[in-house]
Structure 1
Amino acid sequence: MIKIQSITKSFHDRMILNDVSGTFEKGKPNLIIGASGTGKSVLLKCIVGLSKPDFGQVFYDGRDFYEGDRDLKIEIRREMGMLFQGGALFDSKTVEQNVMFPLDVLTKMSSEEKLDRVNFCLKRVGLENVNRKMPSEISGGMKKRVGIARAIVNNPNYLFCDEPNSGLDPQTSVLIDDLIQDISEEFDITTIVVTHDMNSVMGIGERIMFIFKGQKLWEGTKDNITHSNVKELDDFVFSNKVMSGLRGK
């Protein structure tokens, strides 16, 4: 579980996040949603330690990340997996080398152990026999799945996904959403997904935080998001052009 308290962040005297608090639970995707530029990606950066908040606390299973010493921060970072918006694969490395990279950096596993783990993770995301391919030789959806395999290869306790469906067609987006949900449940991971894709919200939104102009205006689930009585959320939901194709409608 991840808990944030009163996260506040400004850049050049401009308030980006204003007193944001919330809890992200284990074993399910926790979604942070909102329009572009509303502060959700900055919030994710504050949670993972890429940007230090001006005020507030982040707790990883009770451990205070920003008040902890260097060793604690390293310990927590070793328990994180990241899926970046663009995949962020190394173009010069094969699929196998990309997925193995965190193991090379963070573990002392033998070459055989690392390869076994890589093959397990690639199989888990539905990618077998692609070890030797280069990123340029696979599709965008496959790149995202390679990114997921790399994110979970080190058995993380926490998984962070920044716009995982960016640039994907609707069918592939559903596949990625379902994979993130299945992996979160199967491995009991605390997963946080930043998205503005309402298809994702209605597909896997078991716990949702809505950010508007740097403030948390609503928290709930996909089952009650369309009855929130929050005007800003209603505007976001019902102006979304993909509403006609929502899963579960």
Structure 2
Amino acid sequence: MIEVRNLSKSFNGRPILKNVSGVFEKGKPNLIIGASGTGKSVLLKCIVGLVKPDEGSVLYDNRDFFEGDRDTKIAIRREIGMLFQGGALFDSKTVEENVRFPLDTLTKMQREEKQERVNFCLKRVGLENANKKMPSELSGGMKKRVGIARAIVNNPNYLFCDEPNSGLDPQTSILIDELIQDISEDFNMTTIVVTHDMNSVMGIGEKILFIYKGQKLWEGTKNEITHSNVQEMDDFIFANKVMSSLREKQ
């Protein structure tokens, strides 16, 4: 479980996050949603420790990241897996080398043990025959699956996904969503997904935080979202439906 308490952050005197609190639960995808520029990415960066909030705290299973000592911070960072928006694969490395990279840099595992773990993770994302392929040979969806394999190769307790469906067609997006959900459940990970895709929200949104202009305006599940009575979220949902309709017509 990850808990954020009263997070606030400003840049150059401009408030980006305003007293945001929330709990992200184990074994399910926890979604942070909202329009572009609302503070979702800054909130994620605060949670993973890339940005220090001006006020508030981030607790990983009751361990305070920003108030903890150096050893606590290192221990938490070793328990984190990250799926970046663009995949962020190394173009000069094979699929296998990309997935193995966290093991090479963060562990002292023997090569055979690393290979077993890499093969297991690639099989888990449906890419068991892609070890020697280069990123240039992969589709967008395959790159995202390699990114997921790399994110889980170190057996993390916490998984962060930044716009995992960006640039993907609707069918592939559903496959990625289902994969993230299955992995969260299978490995009992605390997973946080930043997205503005309503298809993802309605597909895997078991726990949702809606951020608007740096504030948390609503918290609930996909079954409750259409009855929120929050006008800003109704506008967000409507805008997403319009954009989805336009994309389908193209």
Q: Which category of TM-score, normalised to the shorter sequence, fits these structures?
A: over 0.9
Whether 2:88 is the aligned partner of 1:101: answer no
TM-score (norm 2): 0.97
CA-to-aligned-CA distance 1:80-115 (integer Å, 9 cap, x gap): 000000000000100000000000011111000000
Aligned partners of 2:176 and 2:165: how far apart in 1? 7
Q: Percent identity?
A: 80
Cα deviation, residue 129, structure 1:
1.2
CA RMSD of aligned residues (A): 1.0
Answer yes or no: is the 8 Å Cα contact 1:94–1:135 preserved in 2. yes
Aligned length: 245
**2:239 aligned partner, one-letter code:** S
Secondary structure of residue in 2 paired with 1:239: helix
TM-score (norm 1): 0.97
Aligned partners of 1:95 and 1:88: how far apart in 2? 12
**2:135 aligned partner, one-letter code:** P
Aligned partners of 2:73 and 2:140: how far apart in 1? 33
Whether 2:150 is the aligned partner of 1:150: answer yes
Whether 2:24 is the aligned partner of 1:24: answer yes
Whether 2:225 is the aligned partner of 1:225: answer yes
CA-to-aligned-CA distance 1:156-208 (integer Å, 9 cap, x gap): 00000000000000000000000000000000000000000000000000000
Answer yes or no: is the 8 Å Cα contact 1:30–1:191 preserved in 2. yes
Aligned partners of 1:122 and 1:242: how far apart in 2? 34
- 1:71 matched residue in structure 2: 71
Aligned partners of 1:239 and 1:168: how far apart in 2? 19
Whether 2:204 is the aligned partner of 1:208: answer no
Answer yes or no: is the 8 Å Cα contact 1:82–1:160 preserved in 2. yes
- 2:44 matched residue in structure 1: 44
- Unmatched tracts of structure 1, length 5 or more: none
Aligned partners of 2:89 and 2:4: how far apart in 1? 30
- Unmatched tracts of structure 2, length 5 or more: none
CA-to-aligned-CA distance 1:21-69 (integer Å, 9 cap, x gap): 0000000000000000000000000000000000100000000000001
Secondary structure of residue in 2 paired with 1:229: coil
Answer yes or no: is the 8 Å Cα contact 1:83–1:164 preserved in 2. yes
Ranges of 4+ aligned residues in structure 1 off by more than 4 Å: 242-245
Cα deviation, residue 242, structure 1:
5.4
Aligned partners of 1:7 and 1:115: how far apart in 2? 40
Aligned partners of 1:50 and 1:57: how far apart in 2? 14
- 1:117 matched residue in structure 2: 117
- 2:172 matched residue in structure 1: 172
CA gap of 1:84–1:69, structure 2 versus 1, over 3 A, is same
Answer yes or no: is the 8 Å Cα contact 1:208–1:221 preserved in 2. yes
**1:148 aligned partner, one-letter code:** I
Secondary structure of residue in 1 paired with 2:156: coil
Cα deviation, residue 244, structure 1:
6.1
Aligned partners of 1:239 and 1:55: how far apart in 2? 32
Aligned partners of 1:191 and 1:239: how far apart in 2? 26
Match runs of 1:117-136 below 5 Å: 117-136=117-136
- 2:198 matched residue in structure 1: 198
